Amino acid sequence: MFKLKLFFLSIFLFFPLYNFSQVQPTSIALNQILQKKAIEFKNETNFNKAHLFFIKNNWDSTLVYSMKQLISSKNEELMDYCHFFRGYSFREKKLFKEAQSEMHLISNKFILYPLVNKNLGQISLELKEFEKAIYYFKEVEKLPFSNNHGYKISIIYENLGICYLHLNQFNKAEEYFFKSLELQEKEKDLISLIGLNMNIAGLYYQQYKDLQAITFFEKAYNLSKKVNHFESKKNASLNMAIVEENRGNFKEALAYRKESSKWNDSINNQNKVWAVADYEKKYAIAQKQKQISVLKVENKLKDTQRKTMFLSTLGLLLVLSGGVYAYAQKVKNTKIILSQKIKLDELNATKDQLFSIVSHDLRSSVNALKTSNSKLTTSLETKNYNELDNLLNQNSAIANSAYSLLDNLLHWALLQTKQLYFHKDSVHLFSIVQQIEFNYKSLLSDKNITFENSVSKNNFIWVDLDSLKIVLRNLLDNAIKFTPENGKICFYTVETNTNFCQLVIHDSGLGMSQNTIDELLQDNELLAKKKNSEIIGTGLGMQLCKQMIKKNGGSITIESELNKGTKMILSFPKTEQNG
Amino acid sequence: MDNINVLIIEDTPEQSDTLSKVLLANNYNIAGVAQNYTDALTLFYKNPVDIVVIDVFLDGKPDGITFAETISIVPNAAKPFVFLTSSHDRQIFERAKLTKPFSFLMKPFNELEIIYALEMAVEKFYDQTNVFLSEDQDTIISNDYMFIKKRNVLKKVSLKDILYIEVEDRYCNIITEKEKFVILISLTKISALLDKNKFIRTHRNYLVNSDTIEEIILADNLVILKGNHKVNLSDNYKDFIKKIKTLS
């Protein structure tokens, strides 16, 4: 019988504690204080996190971050807070020893020190160190009453009562219980009131004051009907059942038992519902997880797609730009080819023109020779010997001019096809001029032209001999052509201090206008047009001269006055002395 | 002074005849006219030859070049030569160019051109360029001969025939047993070109052919040469006597 009672009591005793702890975290006052501190120590991230998790009742995280804060910072105030957090969290996790040691570490300057005491009291109670618990609770009780620190004095009284009850100091227990009852009836906290009533009932029951006990049991039972708290209902009805059982009213006892078991079922149901809800939640989470993984896979797929897309775009772009570049190149090439074609066409036209002029000239020369030869034959037949000399001279003149034309043509062709042999050597200019003149002696005497070679005998130039001869031959030929009878042609050198030797070919001929000079010296490969077929030749000779002079590293300028004469000024590199 | 001997290697008789005429007119001797490679070699070794005129193409083959190559590889036999060519063919020229010293003459050519080419060939061959046409020198000296241009005619004098050389300003009097003439060459040049062991300086103005010395009279400071030519001996140049092997 007694054993039975004790069993009940142990159930009641813990009830208020449980109840109390539920109220505590929602205490607005405590939260406000913590909030202020959090703002004050904004920079202490660990503290902030610990505080946030504390408010959210996430005890493990609170423990972790408060420990981090303790390691990183030595601020005493913050350390107190952290120890408080840790103590509280340990208590919630039922690690009472650790909770107690943490709480002891808090300095007594701490603002929430009463709360610490209260907590220590509760912890001692849990550890069944009732004497200590009473000491701590008394400390709290000593302080002026206030609701600011997040605890109710009524609860303190109740806890004191429980302690005395355990120490079997029933009078003191009764006194505190009633003090608490008085306050709690004012507060209208039904659930704690039920617990208190049951505690009082338990107190009387232990003293075998059954009647008084029953009154409080019933009171608790009646109150339990008003609340929607299955635990309280179950405990109240169970207690009633035991009471009735002890009184021998088994029928009623059975009814209470049944009610109790009904509430128990409800709790279980609720648990089941919670379990189901939990399961559903888990399922939902799993579902979500699945979705997430699917999304992840999709994302991955998209990512790879994007990558492939990007790469292919890049590749396409590359191909495109390559294509554009190739096209541009092609266009450029086409342009070059086109311009080359135009140039080639021009050159070809020039060549055609040249051929037509040359063949015409040659044809007329040969024709003249033919006519002259037939005349010669006739003269021989008729034995008109006086005519012979004249005709022969004429023939040789024609042959000479035709030969020089052909010679020029040959050299021009060689030059164009780049087959001309070119070998620079030291050349004695005076001798060369003499050699050239030698071939033109008859022509000069025919026109009674005075020829003068005043080239300095010490002049050696560094040129290709044959091309120099071609140049001089052509220029002398021209000079003779344009100089009237009894004229004068003079070759002389002008001393310069440069590395170039200036050779002047001065004739007293027709001369030419500045336009003609410019035309002659124009650096194109087109041949001058034949304006006056009698005097002006193909222009081939002049072209050849210019190219040969250029090839020899020399230059040509022309000074001329109409009807007075022309100066062709050539300059060639001198032979370097001693080298 | 002797005329220059020219060997003509030319396969066209007309052209060789013209050439011969021109050369004879300019006081050259014709050492022979060869029409092919073999004849050319025979004539070259049989007759004394000073200059060879070679046609590049003999019977359509570039045997002229082959000949030039042949005489060029024999060190002491080589003589100055001139290529005649009407071809502008580049490859042939590249080959001909390898026979250094290389001079050539393009056909057709006139009298002046061939004379010029021959003189140039001699200059190039003995590596004494710009001599005949400049105004301060007219003589080229080889190991055996002096080539002298006298009044536009190229002549030669054998060094063996020279008794002594008397220097006078830019001129040198060459005295041989038979004649005496003046050439235009500076003392520094002539002493650099002549063999120092053969032509000995006896006086500031005298170079003596040592082979012709017959007697040295130290008391009178005189050197007596072949043909009783007397040359002064100055104290500064007496050292050469030590080198001469004398019967004592």
Nearest to A185 by CA among A172, A173, A200: A200
Q: Sorting pLDDT into bands at 50, 70 and 90, what band is A308?
A: very high
Superfamily assignment of A424-573 in CATH? Histidine kinase-like ATPase, C-terminal domain (3.30.565.10)
Question: Side by side, which strands form the sheet with B206-209?
Answer: B180-184, B171-176, B162-168, B206-209, B199-203
Question: Does A181 or A111 have the greater pLDDT score?
Answer: A181
Q: What is the pLDDT averaged over residues B219-244? A: 85
Average pLDDT, chain A: 81
pLDDT of A407 strictly over 90: no
d(CA B68, CA B71): 5
Question: Does A385 or A530 have the greater pLDDT score?
Answer: A385
Cα–Cα distances (Å) from A170 to A202, A573, B229, in that order, read 11, 142, 178
CA distance B179 to chain A (A): 30
Question: Of the candidates B89, B110, B134, which has its C-beta nearest A458's C-beta?
Answer: B134
The tokens for B96 are: 């001909």
Query: Counting Cβ atoms within 10 Å, is residue B174 exposed (0-12), middle (13-18) or buried (19+)?
Result: buried
Average pLDDT, chain B: 87
Q: Sorting pLDDT into bands at 50, 70 and 90, what band is B248?
A: low
Cα–Cα distances (Å) from B127 to A196, B105, B121, in that order, read 143, 19, 10
Determine the residue type at A181.
L
Helix (H, G, I), strand (E, B) or coil at A495: coil
Question: Of the candidates A420, A431, A460, which has its C-beta nearest B116's C-beta?
Answer: A431
Tally of CA atoms within 13 A in the half-sphere of B202 that contains its CB: 26
Verify whether the Cβ–Cβ distance A421 to B88 is below 8 Å: yes
d(CA B127, CA B119): 12
d(CA B205, CA B233): 10
The proportion of chain A whose per-residue pLDDT surpasses 70, expressed as a percent, equals: 90
Verify whether the Cβ–Cβ distance A428 to B135 is below 8 Å: no
Q: Say whether A154-223 and A24-151 share the same fold.
A: yes
Rounded to 5°, the CA angle B127-B152-A422 comes to 50
Q: What is the pLDDT averaged over residues A71-75? A: 76
Q: Is B106 on the interface with A (CB under 8 A)?
A: yes
Q: In 10 A of CB A441, how many CB atoms? A: 11
User: What is the fold, at CATH topology level, of the domain defined by B2-126?
Assistant: Rossmann fold (3.40.50)
- Contact, B143 vs B107, CB < 8 A? no
Instruction: Express each pLDDT in B143-200 by its tens digit.
Output: 889 999 988 889 999 999 999 999 888 889 999 988 999 999 888 888 888 888 888 8
Full-model pTM: 0.58
Verify whether the Cβ–Cβ distance A419 to B90 is below 8 Å: yes
Instruction: Look up tokens 């005493």; give the residue.
Output: A76
Q: Sorting pLDDT into bands at 50, 70 and 90, what band is A10?
A: very low
Instruction: Express each pLDDT in A484-538 by its tens digit.
Output: 899 999 999 998 888 899 999 999 988 888 888 887 887 665 555 555 544 455 6
Sequence ranges of the domains in chain B? 2-126, 160-243
Q: What is the pLDDT averaged over residues B39-63? A: 91
Architecture per CATH, A24-151:
Alpha Horseshoe (1.25)
Instruction: Express each pLDDT in A444-466 by its tens digit.
Output: 988 899 999 999 888 889 999 98
pLDDT, position A533: 46
What residues of chain B lie within 8 A of the CB of A423, using their CB?
A: 93, 97
Question: Of the candidates A419, A430, A458, which has its C-beta nearest B88's C-beta?
Answer: A419
Instruction: Classify residue A509 by its DSSP letter.
Output: S
Residue range B160-243 in CATH 2.40.50.1020: yes
Q: In 10 A of CB A379, how many CB atoms? A: 17
DSSP string, B32-62: EEESSHHHHHHHHHHS--SEEEEES-BTTBT
Query: According to DSSP H, which parts of B126-219 are helical?
Result: 187-193
Highest mean pLDDT among A231-235, A337-341, A355-359: A337-341
Helix (H, G, I), strand (E, B) or coil at A312: helix
Sequence ranges of the domains in chain A? 24-151, 154-223, 228-297, 315-416, 424-573
- Contact, A452 vs A488, CB < 8 A? yes
d(CA A58, CA A31): 15
Verify whether the Cβ–Cβ distance A457 to B134 is below 8 Å: yes
- Contact, A147 vs A128, CB < 8 A? no
Residue range A154-223 in CATH 2.40.420.20: no
Nearest to A225 by CA among A251, A199, A262, A250: A262
Which of A276-280, A519-523, B62-66 is predicted least confidently?
A519-523
pLDDT, position A406: 86
ipTM: 0.85
Rounded to 5°, the CA angle A524-A525-A528 comes to 90
Q: Is A461 on the interface with B (CB under 8 A)?
A: no
pLDDT, position A144: 63
Question: Does A573 or A204 have the greater pLDDT score?
Answer: A573
- Contact, B103 vs B117, CB < 8 A? yes
Instruction: Express each pLDDT in A240-266 by its tens digit.
Output: 788 788 777 888 888 888 888 888 887
- Contact, B120 vs B103, CB < 8 A? yes
